[in-house]
Amino acid sequence: MLSLVMPYYRNPGQLALQYDTWTRWPAAAKAQFEVVIVDDGSPEPAIAVDRPDGLPTLSIYRVLEDRPWHQHAARNLGAQVARGPWLLLTDMDHVLTAEAARALFKRMGRLDPETAYFLHRIDADTGEPTIGTDGKPKPHPNSFIMTRDLYWRAGGYDEDYCGIYGTDGLFKNRLFDIAARGFLKHVPLVRYSRDVMPDASTSTLARKEGRRPGAKQAVLAMKAAAGRAGTVTTLNFPWERVL
């Protein structure tokens, strides 16, 4: 089984689009997938979004506090409760189509458990690859396929850094210290911008423009002063299962 883990925060329209997409997956894919949605304390709860018939196995968990930029902690919860030995971690604005689900399961038996795989990415409005500032195709930096065991051997995301935008590289550094880096060029995720779906991604919080200079360094110093340098804090929040 493969567990699709996805944080949710104020994305009811995008979640409805995800539901519609998952109903179109082939029966074989639905039978081999579970979907784990982690509502990160959203004022517009995921559980309130209508669920159509024909979904794969689905569970919804809810963080009981609304903390800014807490999505990495939501990923930790999803990875903790996931039942599958393999994880597909991605964001609400990235969609795995029926065709991509078929392509993925053709490759599952050949995936290396010591490798973390990025996925190809295309834009929903153009159907073309997402291009980075270097002019080359750019996979999503927070979408991976890896084993659940590998995720936790890397330590998960350090929740001491939650609230600071742009700390995903801390997890990736630890991950690729122990894992090989792979790329599934024939398994695309479709990226929805807010121009296509207004609530595809978070719009209520400042991103790069809201970064506090020295914030990450301050957390590092705090951890060192407390004798916790090199430790990773996970699952440090209240939560419940709602579906």
- Characterize 87-99 residue by residue with b for buried, 16 or more Cβ atoms within 10 angstroms of its Cβ, and e for exposed: bbbbbbbbbbbee
What is the Cβ-side half-sphere exposure of residue 2, based on CA atoms within 13 angstroms? 25
Superfamily of domain 2-241: Spore Coat Polysaccharide Biosynthesis Protein SpsA; Chain A (3.90.550.10)
Kindly indicate the confidence band of residue 130, based on its pLDDT and cuts at 50, 70 and 90. Answer: very high
Residue 24 confidence (pLDDT):
96
Query: Does the pTM of the predicted model rise above 0.85?
Result: yes
What is the average pLDDT value for the chain, to the nearest integer?
93
Write the DSSP string, 84-126.
SSEEEE--TTEE--HHHHHHHHHHGGG--TTEEEEEEEEETTT
**Distance from C-alpha of 228 to C-alpha of 67, rounded to nearest angstrom:** 23
* Type and span of the H or E element at 153: helix 148-153
Residues 33-67 pLDDT 10s: 999 999 999 999 999 999 999 999 999 999 999 99
The residue type of 162 is: C
User: What is the SS3 assignment for 62?
Assistant: strand
**Distance from C-alpha of 238 to C-alpha of 66, rounded to nearest angstrom:** 11
User: What is the SS3 assignment for 220?
Assistant: helix
**Distance from C-alpha of 23 to C-alpha of 17, rounded to nearest angstrom:** 10
| Domain segments of the chain as ranges | 2-241
Kindly indicate the confidence band of residue 86, based on its pLDDT and cuts at 50, 70 and 90. Answer: very high
Kindly indicate the confidence band of residue 211, based on its pLDDT and cuts at 50, 70 and 90. Answer: low
**Distance from C-alpha of 192 to C-alpha of 123, rounded to nearest angstrom:** 6
